[in-house]
Amino acid sequence: MAQLTKKRKLALTKYDQAKSYPVSEAAKILKEISKTKFDSSIEMSVRLGIDVKQANQMVRGTVTLPHGTGKTIRVLVLCTPDKEAEAKAAGADFVGLDEYITKIKGGWTDVDVVIATPATMGKVGALGKILGPRGLMPNPKIGTVTQEVGKAVTDAKGGKIEYKADKDGIVHVAVGKISFDESKIADNINEFIQTIVKAKPSAAKGAYIRSIFMSSTMSPSIQIETKSLGY
């Protein structure tokens, strides 16, 4: 068993690992125990009572966090020339089509979000093996295949994130930075959890939200009291 560092031992004295905490209190504790020299991301892990092997129980979607993620989002828009001005005006970092398809085939994926127009999907579809494993493949279900490229870029830049349950039925997302004040952290978490609750599949039986934990980069995790979220 790996030995605990002094910093981790000290962090574990600040709260009770066996206890669950309301979001606001957990946010306060997390800020106190996060000791990285950089602005750590705040991570949420939500275990759901779903069977991901059943297509009608998959949980996936997007949520726009009220205070954003605290991260600078790099957006690539793959579109025809008539949509380029709209994408650039909205703040897209990269705009084009054939030249970026060639770059991606060559291994370039230095972006956080890829948006495409429906007319380009015949070409973009060939990038599935590269973009898919990185979570970058445009998808109409999450609003990244659209004619409204300006709105899609604005949403992505403004804090819209994608969530998807993994093979164990757990949703992992980053909901902000440790530099956020406690109220902003709580607002983002509440918005995310309420979105997950609304996304409950009708086929899911029994307890839906099994557990919720939050942590920051390299910190111990803190369990969230689900009652404090109104669920």
Residues 61, 166, single domain; the answer is yes
Residues 99, 204, single domain; the answer is no
CATH number at residue 87: 3.40.50.790
Q: Are 76 and 137 in contact (CB under 8 A)?
A: no
Of 157, 173, 198, which marks where a domain is finished? 157
Residue 100 lies inside a defined structural domain of this protein: yes
CATH number at residue 224: 3.30.190.20
Position of tokens 């870029």?
A: 153
Quote the domain boundaries for residue 113.
75-157
Residues 220, 191, single domain; the answer is yes
Reference 219, options 22, 38, 18; nearest CA is 38
3-class secondary-structure state, position 49: coil
Residues 38, 96, single domain; the answer is no
Residues 151, 165, single domain; the answer is no
pLDDT band at 176 (very low <50, low <70, confident <90, very high): very high
- Dig out the tokens for 160 from the structure: 């819209």
Residue 2 lies inside a defined structural domain of this protein: no
Residues 100, 145, single domain; the answer is yes
Q: pLDDT per residue over 8-64, tens digit each?
A: 666 677 778 889 999 989 999 999 888 888 899 999 999 999 999 999 999 999 999
Could you give the residue ranges of the DSSP H alpha helices within the chain?
6-12, 23-33, 81-89, 98-105, 121-124, 128-131, 149-157, 182-198
Of 157, 179, 202, which marks where a domain is finished? 157
Residue 1 lies inside a defined structural domain of this protein: no
Reference 78, options 43, 122, 44, 48; nearest CA is 122
Q: pLDDT per residue over 179-204, tens digit each?
A: 999 999 999 999 999 999 999 999 98
Residues 50, 63, single domain; the answer is yes
Residues 150, 224, single domain; the answer is no
Mean pLDDT for the chain overall:
90
Q: What is the dihedral of CA 192, 157, 143, 98, to 10 degrees?
A: -150
Of 157, 190, 221, which marks where a domain is finished? 157
Rounded Cα distance, 85 and 56, in Å:
39
Question: How many domains is the chain built from?
Answer: 2
Residue 214 lies inside a defined structural domain of this protein: yes
- CA 76 → CA 85, 89, 136, distances in Å? 13, 13, 10
Q: Is the pLDDT of residue 4 over 70?
A: no
Q: Is the pTM above the cut of 0.85?
A: no
Residue 8 lies inside a defined structural domain of this protein: no
